[in-house]
Amino acid sequence: MRRTFLIFSAAIFTFMAYAQDGTVLTVDDAVKRALENNVSVQRNEITLSALERAKSHSWNSASPTITFDGSAGIPLNDLTDEAARSKYDANFGISATVSVSLTANLYTKMQAAKLNYDIGKISFVDSLRAIELSVREAFFNLLYEKENIALQEKNSEISRSQYNSNLAKYNQGRLSELDVLSAEVSYQSTIPTVASARTTYENDLASFKQLLGIDLEEPIELDGTLEDKIMLDKISLEGVEIYSSTIKTLEKRIEAADNSVLDARFSAYAPSIRASLNWRDQYWYANYDGDPPASTDAAKSTSLSLSASIPLDGVLPWSARHDAIETAKESKKDYELQLKNARTTLQMNINSYLRSIETSQASIKAKQANVTLAQRSYNMTLDAYNRGVKDFLALQNANSSLLSAQVSLKNEILKLSSTILNLENTIGVPFGSLSKKTE
Pairing of strands 65-73, 220-222: unpaired
What digits encode the pLDDT tens for the residues 301-341? 787 787 777 777 766 777 777 888 888 889 999 999 999 99
In degrees and rounded to multiples of 5, residue 151 shows phi and psi of -65, -45
Residue 297 scores a pLDDT above 60: no
User: pLDDT at position 8, please?
Assistant: 35
What digits encode the pLDDT tens for the residues 365-409? 999 999 999 999 999 998 998 888 888 888 888 888 999 999 999
Q: Which residues pair with 335 in a beta bridge?
A: none
What digits encode the pLDDT tens for the residues 26-63? 999 999 988 888 777 778 778 878 877 777 766 666 66
Non-local CB neighbours of 381 within 8 Å, separated by 6+ positions? 390, 394, 395, 397, 398
What's the CA gap between 129 and 424, in Å, rounded?
A: 10
Non-local CB neighbours of 171 within 8 Å, separated by 6+ positions? none
> Angle CA(5)–CA(225)–CA(398) in degrees, nearest 5?
80
| Range of weakest confidence among 86-95, 150-159, 285-294 | 285-294
Residue 77 scores a pLDDT above 70: no
